[in-house]
Chain A
Amino acid sequence: MNSPIFLAAVAAIAGAFALVQPHLGPFWQSLLINILMYTALATAWALFSGPTRYVSLATAAFFGLGAYTMAFLGEAMPLPMVYLSAAVIGAVVAAIVGLSTLRLSGVYFVIFTFGLAELIRQLVTWAEAKFGGTVGRFVFVPVSPTDIYFMLIAACVAVFALGWWVQRSRLGWALRAIGEDETVARHAGIDVTRAKVLLFSLSASVMSVVGCIMAPRWTYIDATIAFNPIISFQVLIMALLGGAARLYGPVLGVVPLAILFELLQANFPNHFSILLGAVFLAVVYLVPRGVAGLLEKRR
């Protein structure tokens, strides 16, 4: 897809989301919040994991860091500063982690990122119990669901703009080369580690901001809520269904799966997990290259 059309499409869809807001009841707004949240997370995930083919399960770690940023700073500083802090914290943690671990690849990287969410969760619990005197945190900030809705639209626009820019930049080329063959990329003079860490940080930064936006919706967070591994898995499966190789790919997975989850939840609340498992199997067997891949094959 060429860039003017892509950017126009993003702007038009974001505008449409903003325009329909006054006509949404709380229920539909709730559903769209879910779709927007996963769109931002899955696109941010694919930003790094798509070109490099490093499968990351650390989404929950950065999402949770953002949620905790809101819990700690939400009442202490103006809200825009809180979101900015979340972005910085996510990027800094990702850079530190990335420098030490992006030399890993394949399954080692997958396991490490999964462990990362658990490690941060345990660290937060330990520190809270030791110094905070409690493990749960209340998030009482004046952010309504409608505010969350608009902020998520902004986050989605930002992540698409970021992705568009990265694809066009030298960094994007470097990452695609790494995804094809890391050794060759290194021999071609690409600073492999720098490229990977940079993009890992950008992607993590978006995830943290999304966590920070979502936290006021729950009034209360503890480490189990904030660092819920389900978030990592859902983001992964959504991005894979959509297709991580294209910037617009993850959305094609997020929308059908979010609607499907909603239908399953509303109609088969007691069989949700079983049906979900069946859907995952179908995704992996029937659409291995994602919806975006199917669409391109048609052409």
Chain B
Amino acid sequence: MNTTRRAALGGIASAAIISTAHAQTGPIRIGYSISRTGPNAGGANVTTLPNYQLWVRTVNEAGGLRVPGGARRQIEVVEYDDRSQSEEAVRNVDRLINQDRVDFVLPPWGTGLNLAVGAVLNRGGHPHLAVTSVTERIPELVQRWPNAFFFLGRSSAASEALVTTLQGLQRGQGLGNTVALASVQDQFGIELVNAGRAALNRAGFRIVMDRQYPLGQQDLAPLLAEAARANPEIFIAFSYPPDTLAITEQARIANFNPRVFYTAVGTAFPLFRQRFAANAEGVMGIGGVDISSPRIRDYVARHTQVVGRPPDGWASPVTYASLEVLEQAIAQVGTDRAALIRAIGSGTFDTIVGSIRMENNQRIAQPWVGQWQGENFVAVGGAGTLTPVQFPKPAWRPA
């Protein structure tokens, strides 16, 4: 991955030397501050950074970003590491805007860091293409920051789409109504479970277990033992990547086989499929992609070739799509940032995840429930082109 990055940067550097100093034909400078180190590095290196690199490379190989009038301008990248700290992210973005004077800033990974830099981007009048920033208070945020666009929607939408999918299985496939709930004590986990619990109750499901565990909990065996004793039809864990892996592993060891098995963040990671191989089959999680789309298949192939591994099946394609939105908006109105913010807010954009149109600066319609079917994490719930759920989940096989 390092060599491809260097190759991409080398290409950019030589392009920068060739291009003249004239502002309209010189490179477009794009900066980002990202967590290369610290606790956020895992998420940033799976979901955000590879897509920035892939996009810059794709655009530059095609000759550069198209601007009105038909000219193309190469992208030049300025990159900083925020070490997963809010204060560093704020200072890096201050530096990008005021010292490096970049044309655009791409956001960091994670809700906390996106909100930390949100105020700086707002003051600087830069468009803020927030993807990996999911919170219930997005409608309030876009009131304060009209330059911010949220591509992944709200936590409650994820939980409600899951419950709708489960209701479909009840009606069509004879799924029962007992649910065991587990959730991680972190912002997103708590928002998911609060919305999920309410939606489950409204839909007439019976919650037979409802447990929370602290972030970073290592031993999840007791939790799974309790779930197995409750013998539910449905197991839902609103979990984060490390616990998603631990919970799935523990369920397999305990041979706990509910008919629906759902783990949240991290289920869509390629790592999940590598780790559990055939046992990933039928596991549901947050995200999902429409694998019938040729553009997604092309994206997965390019990502695999350039980055060295496939993208995750949730926020990765959306991150890439947010960059396509930026690219198309620049082609329409150029690099004037105020005009660009208006264009992104009002336009319709054709991207790898389908057509994107912002409603009050938010992307609402999207797949929310995914399931491992063969090699792919396919969309089975939410909006968009969906694949039928594979039901019931096959029993665990000995590893």
Contacts and interface: CB of A to CB of B under 8 A. Distances in A.
Note whether A and B form a binding pair. Answer: yes
Interface of A: 25-27, 30-31, 34, 122, 125-126, 129, 133-136, 138, 140, 214, 217-222, 224-225, 228, 230, 265-266, 269-270, 272-273
Given A30-B95, A129-B185, A135-B187, A269 B80 contact: yes
A270 B81 CA distance: 7
Given A27-B98, A220-B112, A228 B187 contact: no
Interface stretch (B18-26, B86-94, B258-266, B309-317): B86-94
B167 to A, nearest CB: 25
Contacts of B81: 265, 269-270, 272
A136 B144 contact: no
Interface stretch (B113-121, B199-207, B351-359): B113-121
Contacts of A27: 94-95, 98-99
A142 to B, nearest CB: 12
7 contacts: A27-B94, A126-B185, A129-B185, A225-B86, A266-B95, A269-B36, A273-B83
Nearest to A220: B115
Interface in B171-201: 185-187, 190-191, 194
A229 to B, nearest CB: 11
A270 B9 CA distance: 14
A222 B186 contact: yes
Contacts of A133: 190, 194
Pairs A-B, 9 closest by C-beta atoms: A220-B115, A136-B187, A27-B98, A129-B185, A30-B94, A218-B86, A218-B116, A135-B187, A27-B99
B137 interface: yes
Given A125-B214, A136-B111, A220-B115, A230 B190 contact: no
A218 B37 contact: no
Contacts of B190: 129, 133-135
B87 A218 contact: yes
Contacts of B341: none
B87 A34 contact: yes
A222 B190 CA distance: 13
Given A30-B90, A138-B137, A218-B90, A126 B214 contact: yes
Contacts of B112: 136, 218, 220-222, 224-225
A133 to B, nearest CB: 6
B79 interface: yes
Given A31-B91, A219-B118, A269-B79, 10 more contacts: A125-B186, A126-B185, A126-B214, A133-B190, A135-B186, A136-B135, A138-B137, A220-B86, A222-B112, A272-B37
Interface residues of B, number: 40
Contact of B98 (A25, A219, A222): A25
B39 interface: yes
Contacts of B123: 26
Nearest to A271: B81
B45 interface: no
Given A134-B191, A265-B80, A218 B39 contact: no
Interface string B65-103: 000000000000001110101111011101101110000
B146 to A, nearest CB: 15
B338 interface: no
B87 A214 contact: yes
B94 A26 contact: yes
B187 A134 contact: yes
Given A129-B190, A217-B87, A272-B81, A224 B39 contact: yes
B373 interface: no
B208 interface: no
A219 B80 CA distance: 21
Interface in B102-151: 111-112, 115-116, 118-119, 123-124, 135-137, 144
A255 B90 CA distance: 20
A263 to B, nearest CB: 12
A228 B37 CA distance: 14
Interface string B10-39: 000000000000000000000000001101
B185 A135 contact: yes
Nearest to B191: A134
Given A135-B190, A265-B80, A219 B115 contact: yes
Given A134-B190, A140-B144, A218 B115 contact: yes
Nearest to B93: A30
B215 interface: yes
A26 B98 contact: yes
Contacts of B124: 26
Contacts of A221: 86, 112
Contacts of A222: 112, 186-187
B212 interface: yes
B220 to A, nearest CB: 17
A218 B116 CA distance: 4
B137 A219 contact: no
Nearest to B96: A27
A270 B36 contact: yes
A219 B116 contact: yes
